[in-house]
Amino acid sequence: MVRLEREFLGRNLIFETGKLAKQASSAVTVRYGDSVVLVTVVISDEPEEDVDFLPLTVDFEDRFYAAGKIPGGFIKREGRPSERAILNARIVDRPIRPLFPEGFFHGVQIIVTTLSTDQENPPELLGLWGASVALCLTSAPFNGPIGSVRVGLVDGEFVFNPLSSQLEEGELDLLVVGTRENIVMIETSAKEIPEDKYIEALHKAIGYIRENISIQEEFIDMARGEVTPVNATIIQPDPELVDFIKRTTYDRINEILRIGKKKERESRMSKEPSELIEKAFQEMGEEGLALKEKFDSNPVMVKIIFKAMEREILERMVLDERIRADNRKFNEVRPISCEVGVLPRTHGSAIFSRGETQVLTVVTLGSKGEEQIIDDLGIEESKRYMHHYNFPPYSVGEIRPLRGPGRREIGHGALAEKALVPVIPEEDAFPYTIRVVSDVLESNGSTSMASTCGSTLALMDAGVPIKAPVAGIAIGLVSRSDDEWVTLTDIQGLEDAYGEMDFKVAGTERGITAVQLDTKRFNGVPIYILEKALEQAKEAREMILERITETIPEPRKTLSPYAPRIISLNVSPDKIGEIIGPGGKVIKKIIEETDAKIDIEQDGRIYIYSQDEASGNVARNRIEEIAKEVEAGQVYEGKITRVTDYGLFVEVLPGKEGLLHVSQMERLKAPINKVFKPGDSVLVKIYEIDNLGRINLTRKGLFPPEKSEKEDTGRFGNQRRKQ
């Protein structure tokens, strides 16, 4: 076993290998604080067949025992990964994938298993460190190690690798992954952080990334001899095929890629190059038979050559000709269209279109009891704001089976959710559960940022008093080197596919709320390029915010007539038991009578949700009556619950019952059970509340003597029968 322990940002960072999972290509255990993960890497001996991409899979396995928990639900074992585990797997996958060379098609599987968590040191950070080290130990062609650090901003000061509890009141949660010089991946949530402060955080993070890489390199040097190296094969394009395909199709593809309309461009791209190649083979006759056989037997190779050629054409267009495929300026946003209130029965709806990207977003308001319960290893137990993102096949003109949400859908939804969370009103001001659903209707680049813009529109249409509108934009990159590059505002699908960066930035007029960076560059992206990208993102964001506020200047003052109405009140926590009643009897009765939803918090907060104001007020009055304190000397119109030989039990307020003894009643001219029945109303006065809280009632002194002599007025204001 090889072990290294070094101090890193106030805690000991421990790497171990050679003890666990020795059948894997490499296995590394990482400990930081009391969080421990096992990272295993298995790489196939031979390249995968029929693939033109790196077949990398990353899985994050959360074990509930790591936090001393037993899974909830009926099946008490871990099943499909939670949303948190999927997002953590993406965090590990995204910075690793671009650091393998083109042509490396060996299957790679990375599994990060959380063995222990103190819920303060996030396992995804340990997973990044472990995956970097484990890949380097295999001798696979991985351009690592890569370091990572988390940055917080607490009370105006940067904190590096803060504890999770420190971030709860902080303004920034920034995860940066990089090489010694450049940045490979960013994941950020923030509370309207200005761009200059954000750039300062990135610069400071680089120093700690280098320190983290130095620790990894020290361990790799110690442990490299203990792991069997991988014999990697990197497939190179066949020069003869490259020359033939370029000679035959380059000019036509160069023409097609300049078509602004996606559907027309893709239609021509799917037909014309293959027609040109077939024609070329026919003209070559027998001389081209060997080449045709090589072409037909290597479809994956052909696909790789075409992709490389298309990337090269885009690079020349942008860097040499200084034009984009749709003739926009480098910092120009595609035409924008905003529409709100598009659906009649939903609580809030909007359509946001940017170029050929179109998203329908719908808001639904619910009760507090409809919050999402979170059953994972994190501290958070529930959340009241949810964003769900759907990407149906018709949005890109494809046919494919409809399944549940994939990792991409979950990741895009989480990013849009992260962008809006800082402006969602506090629960006390707006005690609704809020679900936002974005359905992508048409896709040609940056649907996650379109979903963010659509969410702002739909939330304001629903009357949610958000603190400020939020907009998002994606910035791309085309480069030949760190000295020759161009950043592109609002990338379309072509620029995303063949460009080198997808830098999504969302925020308000005041600052950034969410950032996500993914890159395809083998050596990452220098900070100075990101600074330029942030400048363009801010400019575009401000323009989009203008379009949003032109459509709907502020949240609507009234909710949709189909949204539940909410009444909130506070009672003494001591009264909660009485309001609920034995076995929930009291609260269930109120719900049945009013058809309202009622959520009760332990601190005495009560939320009543109803479809109309009248039924909500009835429920509130009932609860206030129960919560009201009875006082000696007060007169009540009560309801008889039981009749006994020695007196009546009378409910003076809901859930509060007292005894009206026969000695405290006027003289009756018939047996008590003949005069009074359960359910009758009767006027009573509390004359005593004893030291056990028992209520004693009287009717003495409530009526003139001559009236009680003649008749019993058991029902308040209604004359009963003569005796």
3-62: per-residue pLDDT in tens?
999 999 999 999 999 999 999 999 999 999 999 999 999 999 999 988 889 999 999 999
Contact (Cβ atoms closer than 8 angstroms) between residue 658 and residue 695? yes
Contact (Cβ atoms closer than 8 angstroms) between residue 714 and residue 680? yes
Contact (Cβ atoms closer than 8 angstroms) between residue 159 and residue 174? no
Look at residue 153 and give its three-state secondary structure. Answer: strand
For position 705, what pLDDT does the model report? Answer: 58
For position 571, what pLDDT does the model report? Answer: 85
Look at residue 14 and give its three-state secondary structure. Answer: strand
For position 399, what pLDDT does the model report? Answer: 93
Pairing of strands 106-116, 56-62: parallel
For position 708, what pLDDT does the model report? Answer: 46
For position 286, what pLDDT does the model report? Answer: 85
For position 382, what pLDDT does the model report? Answer: 85
Look at residue 287 and give its three-state secondary structure. Answer: helix
CA distance 371 to 279: 62
For position 716, what pLDDT does the model report? Answer: 41
For position 176, what pLDDT does the model report? Answer: 98
Q: Which two tokens stand for residue 329?
A: 């300026």
Domains of the chain in sequence order: 2-226 (3.30.230.70), 239-319 (no CATH), 336-551 (3.30.230.70), 565-627 (3.30.1370.10), 635-710 (2.40.50.140)
CA distance 601 to 327: 58
H helices, E strands: number in the chain: 16, 29
For position 264, what pLDDT does the model report? Answer: 93
Contact (Cβ atoms closer than 8 angstroms) between residue 153 and residue 193? yes
Nearest to 405 by CA among 362, 356, 438, 367: 438
To which residue do tokens 């595609």 refer? 334
Task: Give the DSSP H/E element, type plus range, for residue 473.
Answer: strand 471-479
CA distance 518 to 489: 15
For position 711, what pLDDT does the model report? Answer: 45
Distances (CA, A) of 512 to 190, 197, 303, 423: 6, 10, 39, 11
For position 576, what pLDDT does the model report? Answer: 87
* pLDDT < 70: residue spans in the chain: 655, 704-723
Cα dihedral 474→475→478→479 (10° resolution): -140
Contact (Cβ atoms closer than 8 angstroms) between residue 489 and residue 331? yes
For position 276, what pLDDT does the model report? Answer: 95
CA distance 633 to 684: 10
For position 9, what pLDDT does the model report? Answer: 96
Nearest to 356 by CA among 234, 239, 493: 493
For position 715, what pLDDT does the model report? Answer: 42
Question: In the 8-state DSSP scheme, what is residue 570?
Answer: E
For position 718, what pLDDT does the model report? Answer: 39
Can you list the positions of beta strands (E) in 280-409?
Answer: 336-340, 348-354, 357-366, 372-373, 382-383, 385-390
Q: What is the DSSP string of 585-644?
A: HHHHHHHHHH--EEEE-TTSEEEEEESSHHHHHHHHHHHHHHHSPP-TT-EEEEEEEEEE
Q: Which two tokens stand for residue 562?
A: 């189909």
